[in-house]
Amino acid sequence: MKRLVLALMLSIVCFAANAQTPEEAEKINKWIDTYQQLNDAKDWQGMVSKAGLCKQEIPAWNHVYYYSGIAYYNLKDYDNAIMNLSIFIEKDQSEAGAYLLRGHSFSEKKDAAKAIADYDVYLGKNPNDIPTMLAKANAYLNVNDLNGYAKELGVVLAKEPNNAKLLENRASAYANLNQWPAAIEDYNKLISINPNNDEYYNNRAYANYIIKTPESYKAAIIDYNKVIELGKGDVKVYTALTALNSALKDYKAEVAAWDKLVELQPANFDNVYRRGAAKYNAGDYKGAIGDFDKVIKNDPKHINALKRRATAKTKLGDKVGAQADAKLINQLEGKPAAPAKK
């Protein structure tokens, strides 16, 4: 705000120099000094209270409305800020800063269309003002227009292509829009800027996971393994790896991920059961039975573990063991026992 007000001072001095009479010029310069002092002191209420007297002394000095708009904006009275700035703009379109501040006020009231219109006027006169470009982007964000937000961030990124924060924000917007390839492009750039940021790999992996193609699954696995390499492997990462490797039918890799989950969550027997299923799919029937044994010991009524153990025993030729499990299954399901074969 201080930068904006200082820019305003220059144009007011010019206005004073062009006053119709020396007396009028003297009054204007007096009010310039008064408002400058109030502005430096951030006495916004004082600026508001002086407006009436200022208008009486120099009724043709339109900049009093500009000052009042600045004061009301800082007091967060956006309705009065808009009203005073609008009066000023109606009388004098020379101050680009008035459009900027009115745009901020509209944005605070979540009137995105009017805020953007004012920002566009200001940017037409100040095309390289990046903070205002970001304010315009945020006007879209304030009304949850993520497409507009991403587009405006792109305008800034064209000028600052390595701005990691803006890339992160745009990638997040693309993710919320389910525009996963676009999000991946931003994470590619972020990773090139900071190749040791585990969050970038994690987020890119998730984006590829959501795309659900064999190629994207492979890319996601590479990124999740990079997260692990960076020392940030956790339950979510290993859980994702179990699902991805299962989808690709790489059951050995799936088992390895389940091994880590069992290690991280020793009391979670569902992990043990699912590892047993992965071992079965990998053709490790003995290993599968070992896991199903642990699950059934913890929960003797775990019917799915019993069924899978029976099938694994059949694969190994253990008919007696399979029949014993079938008997337990029938009991749990309330079915009559199968007659003994003669």
Range 171-189 average pLDDT:
98
The residue-averaged pLDDT of 271-284 equals 98
Is the CB of residue 189 less than 8 Å from the CB of residue 167? Answer: yes
Mean pLDDT score across all residues of the chain:
92
Q: Which residues contact 24 (CB under 8 A, 6 or more apart)?
A: 58, 60
**Nearest of 332, 291, 331 to residue 308 by alpha carbon:** 291
* Token duo for residue 266: 């020793």
Q: What is the pLDDT of residue 23?
A: 86
Q: What is the DSSP string of 138-191?
A: HHHHHTT-HHHHHHHHHHHHHH-TT-HHHHHHHHHHHHHTT-HHHHHHHHHHHH
* Residue range 234-335, CATH number: 1.25.40.10
Q: Is it the case that residue 1 has pLDDT exceeding 90? A: no
In this structure, of 33-37, 212-216, 301-305, the range with the lowest mean pLDDT score is: 33-37
Over residues 101-112, mean pLDDT: 95
pTM of this structure: 0.84
Q: What is the pLDDT of residue 38?
A: 92
Task: Give the per-residue pLDDT at 94.
Answer: 87
Q: Which stretches of the chain are DSSP H helices?
A: 2-17, 22-40, 44-57, 63-74, 78-91, 96-108, 112-125, 130-142, 146-159, 164-176, 180-193, 198-211, 214-229, 235-247, 251-264, 269-281, 285-298, 303-315, 319-333
Give the mean model confidence (pLDDT) for residues 280-297: 98
SS3 track for 90-124: HHCCCCHHHHHHHHHHHHHCCCHHHHHHHHHHHHH
The predicted model gives 128-134 an average pLDDT of: 96
Amino acid 25: pLDDT: 87
> What is the pLDDT averaged over residues 167-190?
98
pLDDT computed for residue 335 by the predictor: 77
Dihedral over alpha carbons 221, 225, 227, 232 (to 10 degrees):
120
With a pLDDT cut of 70, the percent of the chain lying above it is: 92
21 confidence band (pLDDT: 50, 70, 90): confident
Residues 6+ apart with CB under 8 A from 49: none
| Residue 291 CB-half CA count within 13 A | 27
Between the alpha carbon of residue 158 and those of residues 133, 151, 180, the distances in Å are 12, 11, 21
Could you report the per-residue pLDDT of 62-82, keeping only the tens digit for each? Answer: 999 999 999 999 999 999 999
**Whole-number Å distance between alpha carbons of 19 and 62:** 12
Tell me what pLDDT residue 115 has.
97
CA distances from residue 247 to 102, 236, 242, 291, 315 in whole angstroms, order as listed:
54, 17, 9, 21, 23
Q: Per mean pLDDT, which of 38-52, 180-194, 325-339 is the most reliable?
A: 180-194
